[in-house]
Amino acid sequence: MMRIDIITIFPEFFNGPFNISLVKKAIEKGIVQIFIHNLRDFTDDKHRKVDDYPYGGGSGMVMKPEPIFRAVRALKREESEVILLSPQGEVFTQRIAEELSRKEHLIFICGRYEGVDERVKTIITKEISIGDYILSGGEIPALVVTDAIIRLLPGVVGDPNSIKEESFQDGLLEYPHYTHPREFEGLKVPEILLSGDHEKIRRWRRKESLKRTLLRRPDLLERASLTKEDFELLKEIRKELGKEVDYGFNYSECRKGNDEK
C-alpha cells in the first residue's frame, strides 16, 4: 500500500478533493493512505509561527526551516521520497508521475508566501513544479501530482487499457473520442469508427493522435518513441494539410534517431 503525507498550513484545503472520485475509491480499497499534516503542529512557540522576514530585506515572508524539518523528520522513513512543490522545480510530466507511482512513501511539502528557507532543500529528494505560472501555494500542485500518481496505481482505474491509451502515456496527445448519438446537430461520428474494422480503427486513432500532437504540441514528438509506421502517417498528414508544418524539431534527425533504435 502506498502512503502519502502532505505537509501544509491549510489542511482543510484537502477535505473535499480527497473525498470524491478515484482518490476516494483508492483510499476505500486500501490501495493508498493519505495523511494531511498541519505544519503549525510542528512549531514550538505559542504563536505557532511558520514564516518570518527574509534576511537581506525584500517583500513578502519566507517559510521557516524549523517546522518543516521537524515535520519531515517525524514522517520520514528509509524509503521516503520527500517532494517540495515549488515553481522552481522540475516541470511535472507523465514520466515523473509513473516514476513516483512506484514509490512506497511520498511526503509533499506545500510551500507558501515567497517560498521556503533555502536550507529546506537539504532534506528533500525532489522539487516539482506543475507549470510556468505562480499559484498562491503548493496545495493545488499537491492535488494535481497526487491525483496523477494515484490513478496509475494497480486496481484504481477499472480498465487498465484506458490508462495506456491516454494523452502523454506514450508521449503523444490522445486521439478524438466519440459516443452516442451517431449524429448531433449535424456533426457526425467518423464512419471508420462504425466500420467494425479494428485494424483500420487502430490506424485512424494513431494518425489522429499524431496529427493532434503535431498541431498542438510538436515538442512532444521529439521525445516520443515513434515507429516507422508513425513517420509514414506523419508524411500523410503533411500532405493532407497541404503545407509545410513546423514540427518544432528536426524531423529528419528525429526520424534517423528512431530508425536506429
Q: How far apart are CA 52 and CA 64, in angstroms?
A: 6
CATH topology of domain 2-150: Alpha/beta knot (3.40.1280)
What is the pLDDT confidence band of residue 95, given thresholds at 50, 70 and 90? very high
**Following CA atoms 24, 28, 32, 35 in sequence, which dihedral angle do they give, to the nearest 10 degrees?**
70
For 179-194, write each residue's pLDDT tens digit: 999 999 999 999 999 9
Q: Specify the range with the lowest mean pLDDT, choosing from 19-33, 99-113, 160-174, 222-236.
A: 160-174
Q: How far apart are CA 247 and CA 222, in angstroms?
A: 9
* Closest to 67 in 3D by CA, of 126, 110, 35: 110
What is residue 197's DSSP assignment? Answer: -
Report, as an integer, the average pLDDT of 7-28. 95
pLDDT at 49 over 90: yes
Report, as an integer, the average pLDDT of 65-73. 98
Q: How far apart are CA 11 and CA 79, in angstroms?
A: 24
Structural contact between residues 128 and 80, judged by C-beta atoms closer than 8 angstroms = no
User: Is the Cα torsion angle 12, 16, 22, 28 positive or negative in sign?
Assistant: positive
What is the pLDDT confidence band of residue 82, given thresholds at 50, 70 and 90? very high
Q: How far apart are CA 261 and CA 90, in angstroms?
A: 27
Report, as an integer, the average pLDDT of 69-86. 97
Report, as an integer, the average pLDDT of 232-246. 83
pLDDT at 196 over 90: yes
199 burial via Cβ count (<10 Å: 0-12, 13-18, 19+): exposed
For 8-18, write each residue's pLDDT tens digit: 999 999 999 99
For 147-173, write each residue's pLDDT tens digit: 999 999 999 987 766 665 554 557 889
Higher-confidence residue of 174 and 34: namely 34
3-class DSSP assignment, residue 252: helix
Q: Percentage of the chain surpassing pLDDT 70?
A: 89
Which cell numbers in the block locate residue 205? 486513432
Domains 2-150 and 183-259 share a fold: no
Report, as an integer, the average pLDDT of 204-219. 93
Question: Residue 115: phi, psi to the nearest 5?
Answer: 130, -170
Q: How far is CA 150 from CA 92, 173, 220, 234, in A?
A: 15, 20, 24, 34
Per CATH, the architecture of 183-259 is what? Orthogonal Bundle (1.10)
Q: Percentage of the chain surpassing pLDDT 90?
A: 78
pLDDT for position 254: 60
Beta bridge partners of 184: 187
pLDDT for position 225: 87
pLDDT for position 119: 96
3-class DSSP assignment, residue 80: strand
Q: How far apart are CA 238 and CA 245, in angstroms?
A: 7
What is the pLDDT confidence band of residue 104, given thresholds at 50, 70 and 90? very high
Average confidence score pLDDT of the chain: 90
For the chain, the domains span: 2-150, 183-259
Report, as an integer, the average pLDDT of 30-49. 97
Structural contact between residues 52 and 62, judged by C-beta atoms closer than 8 angstroms = yes
Q: How far apart are CA 194 and CA 197, in angstroms?
A: 8
pLDDT for position 59: 87
pLDDT at 113 over 70: yes
